[in-house]
């Protein structure tokens, strides 16, 4: 046998390798975009769940809640209206002294927002490659800084849209209606 022949590829072998590479690329390349689209949608659903939880918590507790969207740090979390720092809300002599319990709502300057207890109050970062791009409020489009999405004691809020995007260009918009309707999530092309 010719030694040059033993070390070379035949034309048929080269074509088979090229076809195999093309087949793998045809399957893998479209799925790369799908993975990004799924990550964007999952992040939008996670944020929608937190917004829904904030609205439900406001209604159930009768206390205003708010979701903070930090567009610069790419984090979001839930805060609850609570007593002023250092106050427990319990009368000095204990709950047996009900005659001294003030029966008026605290003034706004006496209460402050604190991170909600549990996982909802911890800052959450979007998945790698996904980011909070902008927030549309009645005052306009916001792309930097912290945005507060407030929920009144009855669960009402301002109409708000939150844009979640991926580095690859996939975009999803969350639409938060003013009243206790379902949060809309839709993909945006291009």
Determine which of 68-72, 95-99, 147-151 has the lowest per-residue pLDDT on average. 95-99
What pLDDT is stored for residue 15 in this prediction? 87
Dihedral angle at the C-alpha atoms of 168, 165, 117, 148, nearest 10 degrees? 150
Task: Assess contact for 174 and 136: CB atoms under 8 A.
Answer: no
What pLDDT is stored for residue 101 in this prediction? 46
Q: pLDDT digit string (tens) for 13-26?
A: 888 888 888 888 77
The model carries a pTM of 0.69
What pLDDT is stored for residue 84 in this prediction? 44
CA dist 134 → 1, 93, 109, 110, 172 (Å): 70, 49, 30, 32, 11
Q: Which residue has the tokens 């402050």?
A: 112
Q: pLDDT digit string (tens) for 147-176?
A: 999 999 999 999 999 999 988 788 999 999
Rounded Cα gap, residues 172 and 40, in angstroms: 7
Task: Assess contact for 157 and 178: CB atoms under 8 A.
Answer: yes
Mean pLDDT of 3-18: 75
In the CATH hierarchy, which fold is given to the domain comprising 33-86+112-190?
minor pseudopilin epsh fold (3.55.40)
């Amino acid at each position: 046998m010719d030694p040059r022949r033993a070390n070379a590829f035949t034309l048929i072998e080269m074509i088979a390798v090229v076809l195999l590479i093309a087949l793998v690329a045809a399957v893998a390349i479209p799925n790369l975009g799908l993975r990004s689209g799924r990550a964007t949608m999952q992040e939008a659903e996670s944020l929608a769940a937190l917004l829904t939880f904030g609205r439900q918590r406001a209604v159930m507790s009768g206390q205003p809640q708010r979701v903070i969207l930090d567009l610069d740090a790419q984090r979001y979390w839930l805060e609850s209206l609570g007593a002023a720092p250092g106050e427990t809300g319990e009368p000095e002599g204990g709950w047996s002294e009900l005659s001294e319990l003030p029966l008026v709502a605290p003034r706004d300057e006496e209460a402050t927002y604190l991170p909600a207890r549990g996982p909802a109050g911890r800052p959450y970062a979007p998945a790698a490659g996904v980011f909070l791009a902008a927030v549309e409020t009645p005052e306009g489009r916001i792309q930097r800084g912290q945005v507060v999405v407030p929920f009144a004691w009855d669960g009402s809020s301002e109409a708000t849209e939150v844009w979640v995007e991926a580095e690859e260009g996939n975009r999803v918009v969350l639409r938060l209606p003013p009243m206790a309707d379902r949060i809309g999530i839709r993909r945006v092309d291009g």
